[in-house]
Structure 1
Amino acid sequence: MQHEGTLFEPLELPCGTLLKNRIAKSAMSDSLGDGTGHPTAAQARLYQRWAQGGVAVSIIGEVQPTSNFAEKPGNLVLNPASDLARFRELAAHGKENGTQLWLQLGHAGALAYAPISTPRGPSALDLPGLRCAGMSREEIRQVPLDLAQTARLAQEAGFSGVQIHAAHGFLLSQFLSPLFNKRVDDYGGSIANRMRLLLDVLEATRAAVGPQFPIAVKLNSSDQLEGGLGEEDALAVVAALDTSSVDAIDISGGTYFPGAKSASDSAGGGPYFIAFAKRARTVTSKPLMLTGGIKTRAQAQEAVLSGAADVVGLARALVLEPSLPNLWLAHQMPEPAFPRFSHAPEGGITAWYTMRLTEIGADAETGDFCDLDQALAEYDARDGLRTEIWTRHFGPVAPTRREA
């Protein structure tokens, strides 16, 4: 048997950065921004808790370059108008204990939160629960510039790296997906064209931050939707990333397409996307991170020992127990106690875990599992309040322009 400390051995990324172990807190939308796009004390404490708990890297979900395409009113917005001092404070707390703290570069595109945003995607859509205008070429070319600028500011504020979000149905994922992307120009059609924007974002981001700053990409193994991105096209993207300057590829799957089942709500045991990760390993030598369905120490260890992943991304397990890596290192709590809910209203489970993050940031978590309906009501009420703050701070939603 290989030494069981493998999960706790360091990993050197291509850029030279050293991760102290193989456990990452994968990106989640913690919804703890203050409504003006800035971090809060609770958010800083949350990431401090994870750092103290022993993760190698934490990734802050969906940090927006502008206020126009946010996923939620609790998202962070980092651009030249932001108060960088408040971001520096978040970075300092989240980097304690030798932890890397990365910002996930976000743009919700067609899934932008309509009360505060202007949903726009690769192509115009008019579907139940999902309407958006198509993007002009000028708007598409602005995306790499905006995301690269946010990456440069993240570096200036003291964050350790960035992750480009090209999964879960947000903008870059939409360009990869033939379900969202019906364009007939050089951003649509073949997978080579559909991945063009992602590669442009990566190139612009690398130019902005230099060669020694970690850049990861989060990628769907598939959209898990009929007509969406499939595994063969996803493998083609992985192969293209192999020749790029990316430092890690975070493999996930599924979308937030209205009515689609979230991968994180899937039934069954074990890592959801490990079979795809093993296929991806055959076309890239880049470090692979595997996110989704990893709930036990044995599963995490096996994913690394098998060679399928270099890093395991944990989300809900670290919401239940922020100190899980330290406990695993000490051979304690091999599996946190996952709640079981008798009924799950749409969005209820996500709301429950999000409100649990709020408790952790306030050092107020308990062993009690509140009712999903209560969590959903609290979550929606907070979104309502932050929507009002967002609108006052950033101004009304800009009118939608027609596709060029």
Structure 2
Amino acid sequence: MPKAQISPLAQPLTLPCGATLKNRIAKSAMSDSLGDGAGNPTNDQIRLYEQWAQGGLALSIIGEVQTTPHFAEKPGNLVLNGHSDLDLFKRLAKAGETDNAHLWLQLGHAGAMADAPISTPKGPSALDLPGLTCGALSMDEIHALPAEFAQTANLAKELGFGGVQVHAAHGFLLSQFLSPLFNKREDAYGGSLQNRMRLLLEVVDAVRKVVGPEYPVGIKLNATDQLEGGFAENESLEVIATVDQMAIDLIDISGGTYFPGAASSSDRAGSGPYFVEFAGRARQKTNIPLMLTGGFKTRAQAESAIVEDKAGLIGLARALVVDPKLPSFWLSEQRSEPQFPRFKNPPEGGVTAWYTMQITQHAKGDAALAPDELEKAIAEYEDRDEARRRIWNSRFS
């Protein structure tokens, strides 16, 4: 009797630093919005990442963990620095490593997209656009950023998290610096691509120096902003070629921005992975393992990306919200695809709100939301943000 073929998704992946991921399935970073409003983890959040680890994945990444409270994307973000409740973070780290999984923190800074009710948004350049107004970071503020990222990375290591990811995608601060559409600076951090990538390289260098050579450090990078005049694919390939000379363990490729009015990749219609062809071009620029995030809807698509060497790791987000145990089903070939909800004419941001509240349902152990509960989910999402903004401003003012 022939031996059953093992799925390529079941193969372990050893990173350049020497750490090994047990298979090729990861939960990519999402803003789960489960912080307590004062920057600390909650019991719900701790349970959630334990559940995802028990579902069979190799790696989870917690989205938008802030180095300071001053430029948070949402009042549900975590803030990790010397003022945080480190015992809660230790519990979160322990829960996320259940069943030999890795739990990494995504080091975030929302920059121009910082939540205005709890911050004063600042990006590389001052902007006054419909739905988006911000100031420009001073040179002193820019020079302070690498050390802030490094401090949080060092704490992540000390507390037991499996690694960190530097967030340079989706229109957040380091992505803003990379984009000529939003970076109009005329100093060492603007103009040429080499100048626009300077801050990202300085952050990566500072993080690596503080955590040492054997701790996983990744980056998340846009293939493209998907905006006219923004960060384009050829520029992204140049950044990847430059990063290839650094001690990076994983490059997570995604795309799009969350700027007001811009369509995010996850809200676009499509039947397959969004950036798989770009990943094939990126593979020619680097030997660093690539994680490909966005649009994977079937096991066959994920396996094909691995077999064709377009990706070393498959990043799933919404698929793991609708089916938290999907990795175990894919690895045992019991299921080929998750069942995604369909919404009729959802408002801007409405689908994200529904998925975020669905995450909350899983974390609490409550019944899953139905697609026709979209309006209810949006209302609860907005009410919770308002309540946590009050806590945030009280805690950090």
Relative to the length of structure 1, the TM-score reads: 0.96
Q: Is the 8 Å Cα contact of residues 296 and 302 (structure 2) preserved in structure 1?
A: yes
Per the alignment, residue 175 of structure 2 pairs with 173
How much has 1:221 moved relative to structure 2? Answer: 0.2
Deviations 1:90-126 (A, max 9, x none): 0111110000000000000000000001100000111
2:159 and 2:127 map into 1 onto residues whose CA distance is: 37
Structure 2 residues without counterparts, runs of 5 or longer: none
| Cα shift readout 1:66-98 (whole Å, capped 9, x = no counterpart) | 110000000000001111111000011111000
- 1:365 deviates by 3.2
The within-5 A match list for 1:119-138 is 119-138=121-140
Residue aligning to 1:18: 20
Partner amino acid, structure 1, of 2:112: A
Query: Who is 2:297 aligned against?
Result: 295
Are the aligned partners of 1:21 and 1:56 in contact in 2 as well (CA < 8 Å)?
yes
Query: Which of 226, 231, 234 lines up with 2:233 in the alignment?
Result: 231
> Do 2:8 and 2:307's aligned partners in 1 also have CA atoms closer than 8 Å?
yes
Give the superposition deviation at 1:165.
0.2
Partner residue, 1:278: 280
Q: Does 1:86 align with 2:77?
A: no
1:222 paired with 2:224, answer: yes
Contact kept in structure 1, 2:74 and 2:115, CA below 8 Å: yes
Is 1:35 aligned with 2:37? yes
Three-state SS of the structure 2 residue aligned to 1:232 is helix
Residue correspondence of structure 1 range 110-125 to structure 2 within 5 A: 110-125=112-127
Q: Is the 8 A contact 2:358 2:369 kept in 1?
A: no
| Mapped partners of 1:368, 1:220: distance in 2 | 32
How much does 1:369 deviate?
A: 3.1
Mapped partners of 2:12, 2:334: distance in 1: 21
The answer for the alignment partner of 1:205 in structure 2 is 207
**Which amino acid is 1:219 matched to?**
L
Q: Calculate the aligned-residue CA RMSD, in Å.
A: 1.0
- Deviations along 1:16-39, one digit per CA (max 9) or x if unpaired, are 000000000000000000000000
Q: What displacement does 1:371 show?
A: 2.1
Distance between the aligned counterparts of 2:266 and 2:374, measured in 1? 16
| Whole-angstrom CA distance in 1 between matches of 2:266 and 2:250 | 21
Distance 1:172 1:4 in 2: 39
- Residue 51 of structure 2 corresponds to 49
Identity %: 62
- 8 A contact 2:29–2:61 mirrored in 1: yes
Structure 2 residue aligned with 1:381: 383
SS of the residue aligned with 1:217?
A: strand
Residue 370 (structure 1) shift? 4.2
Which secondary structure does the structure 2 equivalent of 1:216 belong to? Answer: strand
Instruction: Report the equivalent of 2:158.
Output: 156
**CA contact 1:345–1:372 (8 Å) conserved in 2:** no
**In 2: Cα distance, 1:156 partner to 1:198 partner:** 23
* CA distance in 2: counterparts of 1:64 and 1:3, whole angstroms: 43
Deviations 1:261-299 (A, max 9, x none): 010001111100001100000010000000000111111
Query: How far apart, CA to CA, are the structure 2 residues paired with 1:67 and 1:115?
Result: 12
Distance 2:6 2:124 in 1: 46
Which residue identity lines up with residue 384 of structure 1 in the other structure? E
* Deviations 1:329-379 (CA, angstroms, capped at 9, x unpaired): 221221111001112111110000000000110111337334222111110
Q: Which amino acid in 1 is paired with 2:45?
A: Q
CA distance in 2, matches of 1:389, 1:46: 22
Number of equivalences: 394
Contact 1:163–1:216 at 8 Å: present in 2 too? yes
Match of 1:253 among 255, 266, 275: 255
What is the CA–CA distance in structure 2 between the aligned matches of 1:41 and 1:224, rounded to whole Å? 37
Work out which of the residue numbers 326, 330, 355 in structure 2 matches 1:328.
330
Distance 2:232 2:262 in 1: 15
In 1, the alpha carbon distance for the partners of 2:324 and 2:22 equals 17
Amino acid at match of 1:239: A
Deviations 1:24-63 (A, max 9, x none): 0000000000000000000001100000001100000000
Instruction: Indicate conservation of the 8 Å contact 2:343/2:371, yes or no.
Output: no
Aligned to 1:400: none
In structure 2, the partner of 1:402 is none
Q: Which residue in the other structure is 2:354 paired with?
A: 352
Cα-to-partner distance string for 1:142-169 (whole Å, 9 max, x where unaligned): 1111011000001111100000000000
SS at match of 1:76: coil
Runs of 5+ unmatched residues, structure 1: 396-404
Q: Distance in 2 between matches of 1:200 and 1:224?
A: 25
Bigger shift: residues 201-210 or 326-335:
326-335
Partner SS state of residue 195, structure 2 = helix
Distance in structure 2 (CA, Å) of the matches to 1:61 and 1:225: 23
After superposition, what is the alpha-carbon deviation per residue over 1:220-270, rounded to whole angstroms, capped at 9, x for unaligned? 000000110000100000000100011010000000111000100011111
Deviates more, 1:369-378 or 1:52-61: 369-378
Residues 224 and 255, structure 2, Cα contact 8 Å, conserved in 1:
yes
Q: Distance in 1 between matches of 2:246 and 2:394?
A: 41
Q: Distance in 2 between matches of 1:370 and 1:4?
A: 39
Give, in whole Å, the separation in 1 of the partners of 2:178 and 2:362. 35
User: Could you tell me whether the CA contact under 8 Å between 2:165 and 2:219 is conserved in 1?
Assistant: yes
TM-score by length of 2: 0.98
